[in-house]
Structure 1
Amino acid sequence: MTLAAVMRALDGPLAVEEIELNPTGPGQVRVRLAAAGVCHSDLSLANGTLRQPLPAVLGHEGAGVVVEVGAGVTGIAPGDHVVLNWSPPCRSCWYCEHGEPYLCLHGDDAARVPFATSGDEPVYAGLGTGAFAAETVVGAHACIPVPADIPLAEAALLGCAVLTGVGAVTNAAKVQPGQSVAVIGLGGVGLAAIQGARLAGASAIVAVDPSPTKEELALSLGATHFMAPGNKLAREIRGLTGGIGADHAIECVGRGETIRSAWSVTRRGGTATVVGLGSAMDPVQFNALEVAFFARTIVGCMYGSTDPAVDVPILLEHYRAGRLNLAALVTDEVSLSGVGEAFSRMRDGRGARTLVRFA
């Protein structure tokens, strides 16, 4: 038995209760969680924006210690420290074989089958990971080993926010030194994107968020300017960029209006990269003239266009060298019972990343 925050209804409360994890099967690993970040995708699963079978244990941005491995598992042993990969590639589908493991056809297979029970009731793992639990069972290919000297509380953020935010800049947008970047939405992913833009050598880095409380943190992580969203945003960004607009906009919210804003603040020939996962019922509109006239590119970005097995070690190199600040992304820490409170802060736009700490 293990403690978990269980969701039984959309937008319902998360109750901390005991669940029985499935036995660790062939090719699987049981992990004792040290920490898990609370991501906006968890909130999207909780409110029905993204599909989620119920009851479920959400949480997908986690790190912990391996306590058991199943038959056939190699390269991972009890005692190893790992970051969880919520979209582990199969390495054999068309996308994996063509260099796009972040689009793997089987990356969400584990989310479709129960990973535990509560009494006689099956329980599903949010995004196949179920990190809002003291322990979880995942496929061995969903575990990325990390050195034991890396604090697991900070390593957890690599599992989603940092991979996604930095990857959006370096892998999807391919920002070049000297280019200008606007980052719209300053949650954990957006703040990671700001650091990614700094690592890429961007010149002007404009942080955009409605909450003025995020300005100081954004500037400390590499932003050169802070602005509030609004009708004048595109004009203000053109004023910082010689009248042409940003080379790149990174949208980290997932709303039609902010995607449209990301498009509008980029220069002619610029690129808007959409990271935020929004609702299928929220349209984005462009008129027939502007698409060709502005010659902009709009790019979708899933999981930072990363291969975590490759990109996590690169991010750890930046972390060790002091170029990547993970701790600064955490603005609140809670116990397992505080996940609902973290969702409330997220709805209100307060703070960046909330971290669930396990004893």
Structure 2
Amino acid sequence: AGESVLVVGLGGVGLSVVQGARLVGASEVIVVDPSPPKLELARTMGATDVLEAGGALAKQVRALTDGRGVDHAFDCVGLAQTIRDSWSSTRRGGHTTIVGIGSKEQQVTFSALELFHFARTLSGCVYGGADPRVLMPRILEHAAAGELDLAALISGTTDLDGIDKAFTDMEAGIGVRFLVVP
């Protein structure tokens, strides 16, 4: 509670991280995405600051945190540049979690001196890093209590014939998630 969080990438996972950060009491939730509608949706879910992707992220984050950087960064994209930007946006001793699935071609480099000097940590996260049998009931309890807005993550519905278009839309940054109703 009371810590600062950066979320890079506002698909369904990133927006869920925003809600989770708010739920555990983060004092500051900074979000980054190229889509203005997703930035606005993140604000309704608890983001305190929104940044449109494309700028010097670490510099922008430090300007919002009095030069310090955030306590926790979550990269929900998985590209080398977004991972690097997330890492560089954390404070000395901060932690970056990679949630976005990258490819083997996406290589991220750090100097040995940088790793030593900043004392930051970096980890990957698969399915929230938790046991779904334990986590899902807790998520549903929070949703039932009105503490999580799962409905806001659904941008629309489609039948089986519309799946390709739904994926094309999501890849283009249109909508968050689509529910398939056969």
1:180 Cα shift? 0.2
Task: Name the residue aligned to 1:262.
Answer: 86
Q: What aligned pairs does 1:72-111 form with structure 2 within 5 A after superposition? A: none
In the alignment, does 2:179 pair up with 1:355? yes
Task: Describe the SS at the equivalent of 2:3.
Answer: coil
> Quick one: distance in 1 between partners of 2:138 and 2:37?
31
Number of positions where the alignment pairs a residue of Structure 1 with one of Structure 2: 182
> Quick one: distance in 2 between partners of 1:289 and 1:231?
25
Out of 249, 253, 274, the residue aligned to residue 98 of structure 2 is 274
In the alignment, does 2:26 pair up with 1:202? yes
In the alignment, does 2:43 pair up with 1:214? no
Task: Name the residue aligned to 1:314.
Answer: 138
1:266 Cα shift? 0.7
Percent identity of paired positions between Structure 1 and Structure 2 = 53
- Are the aligned partners of 2:154 and 2:177 in contact in 1 as well (CA < 8 Å)? yes
Task: Name the residue aligned to 2:60.
Answer: 236
> Quick one: distance in 1 between partners of 2:53 and 2:70?
15
1:254 Cα shift? 1.2
> Quick one: distance in 1 between partners of 2:169 and 2:155?
11
Q: What aligned pairs does 1:112-191 form with structure 2 within 5 A after superposition? A: 177-191=1-15
| Cα shift readout 1:286-326 (whole Å, capped 9, x = no counterpart) | 12221111111001101100111111111111011100110
> Quick one: distance in 2 between partners of 1:223 and 1:265?
17
Radius of gyration: which is bigger? 1
Out of 64, 70, 77, the residue aligned to residue 253 of structure 1 is 77
> Quick one: distance in 2 between partners of 1:289 and 1:356?
49
Task: Name the residue aligned to 1:227.
Answer: 51
Partner amino acid, structure 2, of 1:264:
S
Out of 284, 299, 306, the residue aligned to residue 108 of structure 2 is 284
1:277 Cα shift? 0.9
Deviates more, 1:270-279 or 1:344-353: 344-353
Task: Describe the SS at the equivalent of 1:182.
Answer: strand
> Quick one: distance in 2 between partners of 1:257 and 1:346?
21
Task: Name the residue aligned to 1:332.
Answer: 156
Question: Could you tell me the TM-score, scaled by structure 2's length?
Answer: 0.96
1:231 Cα shift? 4.0
In the alignment, does 2:13 pair up with 1:193? no
List gaps (5 residues or longer) in structure 2: none
> Quick one: distance in 2 between partners of 1:299 and 1:338?
36
| Cα shift readout 1:150-169 (whole Å, capped 9, x = no counterpart) | xxxxxxxxxxxxxxxxxxxx
| Cα shift readout 1:115-152 (whole Å, capped 9, x = no counterpart) | xxxxxxxxxxxxxxxxxxxxxxxxxxxxxxxxxxxxxx
Task: Describe the SS at the equivalent of 1:313.
Answer: helix
Task: Describe the SS at the equivalent of 2:54.
Answer: coil
Higher helix share: 2
Moved over 6 A (4+): none
Task: Describe the SS at the equivalent of 2:123.
Answer: strand
Task: Describe the SS at the equivalent of 1:350.
Answer: coil
In the alignment, does 2:110 pair up with 1:303? no
Question: Could you tell me the TM-score, scaled by structure 1's length?
Answer: 0.50
Partner amino acid, structure 2, of 1:204:
E
- Are the aligned partners of 2:73 and 2:86 in contact in 1 as well (CA < 8 Å)? yes
- Are the aligned partners of 2:10 and 2:39 in contact in 1 as well (CA < 8 Å)? no
Partner amino acid, structure 1, of 2:50:
F
| Cα shift readout 1:244-272 (whole Å, capped 9, x = no counterpart) | 10100011111111111110111111000
Partner amino acid, structure 2, of 1:267:
R
Partner amino acid, structure 1, of 2:105:
M
